[in-house]
Structure 1
C-alpha cells in the first residue's frame, strides 16, 4: 500500500486553490516533477495530502488507481475538490493563476517565466533520458559533459543578460516564479545544489537563483523538516 501523510494547516492559500490537494507520486525522495509541485505548495503555505508509491508497487498501481485518474498513467496526479489535475508544469501555472503569484504580472513577464520553464523542461528531458537509460554508465557521463553544460551555459547567459532577469536573484528579478522552482528542481536532481552548491561554482548567477530559492522561509523550513528526503 502507498504511504499517505497530511502536511500543513489549511489557510488562505488553500481557499485560493479550492481546497486541500492530494498528490499521487512515486516515493522518489525529494526529486522529480512531483517534487516541484510540493515545492510550490510548501512555499505558498498550502496544506496537502502526500500519497507516495514505492517503485515496487507502482507498476500495479499504475494499471489500476493511476489509470483510473489519468489515461496516460503518468504521475504526478493531483486530486482537489473532486477534480483531477495532470501534467506537472500545467499544474504549476494553474496554481500560480489561482494564487495570483508565481508567474509575473505583465504579459512580458509571463512570457519570460514560461520560456525559462520550457528550457528547463527540455533540459529535464535530456537528463531523464540519459539517467534512466539501460546503458546509464555511458549515457549519463556523456550527458554531464555535453547537454548539461549546454543548458547550464544557456541559463547563465539568459539570467545575466535578459533585462528582466539581470537584477536577480530570480528569473523575474526580485519576484519568485514557478519557473524558478522548476529550474531549481532540475539543478537539484542533477546533484548541482548539494555540497554547498559545488556544482554551480562556475555559474554564479545560477547559484544566486538556487541560493535564493533555498533561503525562502517556507522552503528553508521544508528542507530542514522530516518530510524533505534529500
Structure 2
C-alpha cells in the first residue's frame, strides 16, 4: 500500500493556495520532479499530505487510481479542493503565482527564471534516460562525462553573465524563484550537492546558488528533518 503522511501544520500559505494539497509521487527518497514540489511547499511553510508509491506497486495504481486522476497516468499529481493538478513545472508556476512569490516581479525576471528552468528540464530528460537505462553501468558514466558536464558549464556561464544572475545568489539575483529549486533539485539528484559540493567544485556560481538554497531557514530545517530521505 502507498504510504501517506501529513507534513507541516497549516499556515497562512495554505489559505493563499486554498487548503492542504495532496501529492501523489514515487517513494524515490528526496529525488525527482515531484520532490521539487515538496521543496517549494517546505520553503513556503505549506502543510501537505504526502502519498508515496513504491516502484513495484505503482503499475497497479497507475491502471486505476492515477489514470482516473490524470489521463496520461503520470505522477506527480496534486489533489486540492476537488481539483487535479498535473505536470510538475506547471504546478510549480501555479503555486508561485498563487503565493505571489517564487516567480519574479518583472517580465524580464519571469522570462529568465522560465528560461533557466527549461534548460534544466532538457538536462533532466537526458539524465533520466541515462540513469534508468537498461545498460546504466555504461550509459550513465558517459552521460556524466559529456551531457552533464555540458549543462553544468552552460548554467555556470549563464549565472556568471546575465545581469540579473550576477546581482545575487539566485537566478534572478536576491530573490529565490521556483527555477532555483528546479536547478537545485537536478544538482541534488545527480549527487552534486553532497560531499561538500565535490561534484561542482569547478562551478563556483552553482555552489553559491546551492549554498543559498540550503541556507534558507525552512529548507535547512527540512534537510535536517525525518521528511528528508536523502
**TM-score of the two chains, using structure 2 as the length reference:** 0.99
State the shift of 1:121 in Å. 0.5
Q: 1:24 maps to what in 2?
A: 24
Q: Which residues in structure 2 correspond to 1:148-167 (within 5 Å)? A: 148-167=148-167
Structure 1: distance between partners of 2:51 and 2:93: 22
Q: 1:34 maps to what in 2?
A: 34
Q: 2:183 maps to what in 1?
A: 183
Provide the aligned C-alpha RMSD in A. Answer: 0.5
State the shift of 1:229 in Å. 0.1
State the shift of 1:210 in Å. 0.6
State the shift of 1:220 in Å. 0.4
1:172 matched to 2:172: yes
Structure 2: runs of 5+ lacking an equivalent: none
Structure 1 segments (4+ residues) deviating >6 Å:
none
Structure 1: runs of 5+ lacking an equivalent: none
SS at 1:166's partner residue?
helix
Query: What does the per-residue CA deviation read over 1:58-115, in whole Å, with 9 as the maximum and x for residues that have no partner?
Result: 1101111100100101100000011000000000000000000001000010000000
Q: 1:115 maps to what in 2?
A: 115
Q: 1:7 maps to what in 2?
A: 7
State the shift of 1:9 in Å. 1.0
SS at 2:104's partner residue?
coil
SS at 2:50's partner residue?
strand
How many residue pairs were aligned? 230
State the shift of 1:168 in Å. 2.2
Q: 2:94 maps to what in 1?
A: 94
Structure 2: distance between partners of 1:155 and 1:45: 29
State the shift of 1:135 in Å. 0.8
